[in-house]
């Protein structure tokens, strides 16, 4: 047992039923949760737009480090997502064409060593609803469950199935109304910036319930002169079907 | 056996040694090889820069489809890489700050269904040297071996080890002289644009010898006002050490 883990909660003594095995709690930092993103405002004024946008997010509960290529964000999932929505939204609010690249990552091995015990619960994280921004976004989205399989409860080894998580996440996007269609190598999402970000995070967290190391990438475009006209209703965006090869 | 595969080559009859099992040849299209990329010139003139850059690449042996979010490229590995170098290089050649997002993908399941027989060789692809561009690039690079494991030759199942391929690819980058250091979630590369692209593709193809479905993402920045000054020699860029958590 990793000594930095919180002690498992004690089962209530009044319970007549046998207690479920106690699951140690893990923090986002122990799971290496975080984001890396870059903002690309297509204007000669890009430095001011980027600096103004970065100042528009609430980083008080986050670790944020910007270098010349991208910005790293560490914190819990809801704070990271809210920050991304506010910063990307601020960059696009002036009407300039902005593309944001977003990478979300969690898990081990990779960012952090796998020092967590095998039976640690990859606790389900439910994101609070992200308030809409009024900004329409189009995204190309990829999701990567980096599942190595593992020991089989019946002895031997378990093979992984990385496509199963991808399909489940696409189904979630369909339910949310942001799924447009599968494209080569990516899935296209359209909708309010907040809904697009929530879709990306939802799929990532859904896979994260089963797989320790999961990343997701999205290219999110706002204010593009080449964007298709917005659909009249949110529902219209769901009429596309995902290709079987979508992810 | 998939009927669209070429017949296996006949073993030479004059050979006294037992012939190795004949490996069916597969094409890049059968493996779903291709790229998706986007160009972000940070200038109000971005449309002209993007259109001019796209025209600078030789697409004669490629399928190229541009939409409002990104551009899809299908073809063999060397043609795709040469095209990316020429298009990204053209966008940055005027001195404007340009960021390119590049995704390379190959394999199944995913882009293509896994209709190839299990024993098909994931043939090693050696890229020809890419001529340098004279443009200095800095990149954040991530590599994703999507290995599900599989049947064990001794019976049972084989678990995967996605980090092994990532570490091997980072070692290749070190040998090439483009490795700067590991960052959170990504590995930083610096060097001539051609060397940075070749490093990204090398790692991807190295993992592709063992793993059927492999993708890689790079955020490649050129002409950034915030970039560190170029090192005096290529060798100096290798003095950074990769973190153990690098990928």
The predicted pLDDT at position B12 comes to: 33
The predicted pLDDT at position A133 comes to: 97
CB contact under 8 A, A224 and B69: yes
Confidence of residue A28 (pLDDT cuts 50, 70, 90): confident
Span A66-120, pLDDT tens digits: 999 999 999 999 999 999 999 999 999 999 999 999 999 988 666 666 666 655 5
Q: How large a percentage of chain A has pLDDT more than 90?
A: 57
Q: Does domain B34-115+124-140+191-234 bear CATH number 3.30.70.930?
A: yes
Rounded Cα–Cα distance for residues B178 and B173 (Å): 6
The predicted pLDDT at position A160 comes to: 81
What the block records as the tokens of B20 is 């190795």
Contact A196, A98 (CB under 8 A): no
Chain A within 8 Å of B43 (Cβ-Cβ)? Answer: yes
Count of A–B CB contacts within 8 Å? Answer: 186
Rounded Cα–Cα distance for residues B97 and B225 (Å): 7
Region label for B29, one of left (φ > 0), alpha (ψ between -120 and 50) or beta (otherwise):
alpha
pLDDT top residue among A3 and A130: A130
Tell whether the model's pLDDT for residue A26 goes beyond 70. yes
| Domain A34-238 architecture | 2-Layer Sandwich (3.30)
Average pLDDT, chain A: 80
B61 CA to chain A: closest CA distance, Å? 18
CB contact under 8 A, A69 and B147: no
What the block records as the tokens of A213 is 């190391």
Query: Which residues, 6 or more positions from B15, have their beta carbon under 8 angstroms from its beta carbon?
Result: none
Q: What is the ipTM of this complex?
A: 0.82
Give burial (CB, 10 Å; 0-12/13-18/19+) of A200: buried
Rounded Cα–Cα distance for residues B218 and B142 (Å): 6
Tell whether the model's pLDDT for residue A236 goes beyond 70. no
Which residues 70-89 of A are in CB contact (within 8 Å) with B?
70, 72, 74
CB contact under 8 A, A103 and B142: yes
Chain A within 8 Å of B31 (Cβ-Cβ)? Answer: no
**Helix and strand totals (H; E) in chain A:** 4, 10
B174 CA to chain A: closest CA distance, Å? 18
Contact A135, A93 (CB under 8 A): yes
pLDDT top residue among A38 and B111: A38
Confidence of residue A229 (pLDDT cuts 50, 70, 90): low
Confidence of residue A169 (pLDDT cuts 50, 70, 90): very high
Q: Distances from the Cα of B106 to the Cαs of B35, B49, B52, B144, in angstroms?
A: 9, 29, 28, 11
Give ∠ CA B185-B188-B192 in degrees, rounded to 5.
150
Residue A46: list chain B partners with CB under 8 A.
Answer: 42, 97
- pLDDT under 50: residue ranges of chain B: 1-22, 121, 232-247
Chain A within 8 Å of B158 (Cβ-Cβ)? Answer: yes
- Smallest CA–CA distance from A229 into chain B, residue: B68
Q: Distances from the Cα of B137 to the Cαs of A219, B82, B99, B187, B222, in angstroms?
A: 20, 16, 9, 14, 5
User: How are beta strands A150-151 and A71-74 bridged, if at all?
Assistant: unpaired
The predicted pLDDT at position B27 comes to: 77
The predicted pLDDT at position B62 comes to: 96
Contact A224, A97 (CB under 8 A): yes
Across residues A216-228, what is the average pLDDT?
91
Q: Distances from the Cα of A26 to the Cαs of A108, A109, B174, in angstroms?
A: 13, 15, 34
The predicted pLDDT at position A112 comes to: 61
Determine which of A40-54, A165-179, B99-113, B172-186 has the lowest per-residue pLDDT on average: B99-113
pLDDT top residue among A112 and A166: A166
Confidence of residue A158 (pLDDT cuts 50, 70, 90): confident
Chain A within 8 Å of B153 (Cβ-Cβ)? Answer: no
Which residues 50-69 of A are in CB contact (within 8 Å) with B?
67-69
Closest C-alpha to A68, from B62, B156, B57, B180: B180
What the block records as the tokens of B9 is 């080559």
Cis peptide before B127 (omega within 30 of 0): no
Residue A50 half-sphere exposure toward CB, CA atoms < 13 A:
23
């Amino acid at each position: 047992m990793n000594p930095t883990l919180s002690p498992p909660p004690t089962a209530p003594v009044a319970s007549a039923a046998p207690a479920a095995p106690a699951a140690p709690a893990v923090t986002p930092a122990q799971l290496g949760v975080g984001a890396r993103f870059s903002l690309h405002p297509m204007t000669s004024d890009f430095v001011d737009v980027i600096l103004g946008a970065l100042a528009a997010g609430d980083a008080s509960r986050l670790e944020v480090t910007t270098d010349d290529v991208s910005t790293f964000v560490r914190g819990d999932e809801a704070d990271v997502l809210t920050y991304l929505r506010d910063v990307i939204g601020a960059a696009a609010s002036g009407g300039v064409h902005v593309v944001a690249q977003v990478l979300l990552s969690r898990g081990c091995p990779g960012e952090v060593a796998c020092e967590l015990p095998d039976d640690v619960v990859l606790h389900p994280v439910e994101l609070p609803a992200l308030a809409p921004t009024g900004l329409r976004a189009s995204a190309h989205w990829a999701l990567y469950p980096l599942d190595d399989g593992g020991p089989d409860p019946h002895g031997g080894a378990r093979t992984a199935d990385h496509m199963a998580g991808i399909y489940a996440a696409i189904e979630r996007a369909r339910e949310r109304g942001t799924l447009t269609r599968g494209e080569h190598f990516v899935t296209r999402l359209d909708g309010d910036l907040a809904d697009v970000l929530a879709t990306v995070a939802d799929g990532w967290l859904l896979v994260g319930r089963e797989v320790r190391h999961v990343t997701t990438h999205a290219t999110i475009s706002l204010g593009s002169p080449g964007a298709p006209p917005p659909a009249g209703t949110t529902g219209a965006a769901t009429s596309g079907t995902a290709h079987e090869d979508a992810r």
